[in-house]
A and B are shown apart, each in its own frame.
Chain A
Amino acid sequence: MSYSKPEFKSSYGNFINGKFVAPLGGEYFENRSPVDNSIIAKYPRSQKEDVELALDAANAAKESWGNTSAAERAALLNKVADIIEANLEEFAMVETCDNGKPIRETLNADVPLSVDHWRYFAACIRAEEGTATELDANTLSMNIKEPLGVVGQIIPWNFPLLMLSWKLPPALATGNCVVLKPAEQTPASATLLMEKIANVFPPGVVNVVHGFGPEAGKPLASSSRVDKVAFTGETTTGQLIMQYASKNLNPVTMELGGKSPNIFFNSVMDADDEFLDKAIEGAVLFAFNQGEVCTCPSRLLVQEDIYDAFMERVVARTKAIVQDNPYDVNTQVGAQASNDQFEKIQSYFKIGKEEGAKVLCGGEANKLNGEFANGFYIKPTILEGHNKMRVFQEEIFGPVVCVTKFKDEAEAIEIANDTLYGLGAGVWTRDAHQLYQIPRAIKAGRVWVNCYHTYPAHAPFGGYKKSGFGRENHVMMMDYYRQNKNMLISYDKNKLGFF
């Protein structure tokens, strides 16, 4: 099958209370495809009033939805999974168009992983129960998990459908109603999803409001009518959301990015076998999703004895990356999501070079031919330097990796942990001792060992340090959307004796 830009209507609405509605103020914004900078469609430029409408609907539905049985809720989540799966190619093309990532990824990663997340949480909720304990002969302590009520969710643009599928299922499975704001760069797949699942949930249970951060995101995050906010994005916005939550005394969960180290020890090159091949791919995974991943393995740490030989292979593998038409199934790296990302990455090339980083490959924009000439393409880039350079410390969010060498285990750990963030890390070794002890010493919430960039459901995901808190993709996420009701019941007929 050959893939191309899908057809879109000229404009779309917000999904509130079970139907699509126009923004109250009548304003729309234009959404463009970074593949070729062409127009996709117009989406609602919602304001506070639209958010309030969604909150009205969610608050009105929360009592009933919260009392729906686990079996019913699970069935609906499974229905959503089935619908996404049945329309896999359509979702994949829309996602490629809106985000710029290659169809090879949307078909094989984004959409299938999304399907699985809905199924995972449908399964979790069926297998759960609370607890009951006899504290003494007359006293029973019972713990019931209750939903919070209405949850506000603000998601990023790097994996639009997948990020939505990480956020919605645990909130809905636990009996909450949701108002979700997709990123304004990528409103298309959330909209397609709501079109396809419009009749699945009772009205008000899932609401999708489009708009800009300051105009729609802020009112949602700061509303006293949400009981919790979940956010994935950057640190300053995360701080602001925590501030607003403090006024409302609301819980929050945050995932704020990282500068993940990918560490390769000498033993990796002990043999020229499939594992070495896998390790080289592991190093080149910085280019996956155009580097627009919070856990991009953007720092490459290579033990000095193997540095030259390993880097020769890594550079060759990077230069062989196919960067072309994102709708072509052979394309491995596509376009960055927007012009400002494109500019930001190039400004990092400039400061990196000035700080003395050596460009081993790439280091510039990539001008494609024909219809893609106006797209935002950056060549996969390897910069060689040291860990105090700004390019080693800041999220560039492009297909860029910074490589440095280390002497021994102690230095590897020191460099790995010398960062404000702690989201992901990779450790590659054939040594049985290092396999456990190195990951154990790295201050990150996800350490991939002899692999990278896998996000299976049931492996909890989240950050240390400035990368945020809360763990997604796992049953433990459900507790972040709930409150514990403890019933302390006495069967003792006698009074306490106080009064």
Chain B
Amino acid sequence: MQRIAITKQAAEVLRQLKEKYGELIFHQSGGCCDGSAPMLLEKDGMYLDESDMLLGVVENIPFYMNQDQFEYWKHTHLTIDVTEGRGASFSLEIPLGLRFFIKSRLLTSEEEIFFNKSKQ
């Protein structure tokens, strides 16, 4: 069971970018403009520490979120999808004319017990 999943189309784009850039991470951004969406970044490009929660791994790519933000997200399940778009951040899919975004749903009661009731 994972807190995150990825659609086939998004996974395909991810594989293309992994080939080009090497090791990658996702970091969920808050804030305006390109925010409220995941950023795909080179692994060593972003300083990560204990304030970044690891939600899960998809296509060998870890997905992080700041812990303050996670407090408001932890009752939901996230699926990474991709669409045509024009983002403006440093997320690596932007030059392809694509943008990752998150589709969410509530955790099932089984998932809720597994993730939130057991020790992190």
Contact = CB atoms under 8 A, between A and B. Distances in A.
Contacts of A236: 27-31, 35, 39, 41, 46, 89
A343 B29 contact: no
A237 B29 contact: yes
Nearest to B101: A344
Contacts of A397: 32-33, 35-36
B90 interface: yes
What's the dominant secondary structure at chain B's contact region? mixed
Interface in A393-436: 393-397, 420-421
A214 interface: yes
A496 to B, nearest CB: 45
B46 A213 contact: no
Q: How large is the interface on A (under 10, 10 to 19, 20 to 34, 35 or more residues)?
A: 35 or more
A52 B76 CA distance: 44
A178 interface: no
Contacts of A462: none
Contact of A213 (B35, B47, B66, B90): B90
B90 A218 contact: yes
A350 B104 contact: yes
Contacts, number: 172
B16 to A, nearest CB: 14
B70 to A, nearest CB: 11
B32 A238 contact: no
Nearest to B99: A340
A185 B97 CA distance: 11
A185 B91 contact: no
Contacts of A237: 29, 34, 39, 89-90
A66 interface: no
Interface in A215-242: 215, 217-218, 232-240
Contacts of A243: 46-47
B33 A420 contact: no
A339 to B, nearest CB: 5
Given A350-B104, A354-B105, A397-B36, A233 B72 contact: no
A45 B96 CA distance: 12
B102 interface: yes
Contact of A350 (B72, B85, B87, B103): B103
A154 to B, nearest CB: 8
Given A240-B41, A351-B103, A421-B31, 8 more contacts: A157-B33, A183-B88, A236-B89, A343-B81, A390-B72, A395-B32, A395-B35, A466-B31
Interface of A: 29, 31-32, 45, 156-158, 183-185, 212-215, 217-218, 232-240, 243, 256-258, 293-294, 338-341, 343-344, 347-348, 350-351, 354-355, 388, 390, 393-397, 420-421, 466-467
Interface of B: 27-37, 39, 41, 45-47, 66, 68-69, 72-73, 76, 81, 83-92, 94-95, 97, 99, 101-106
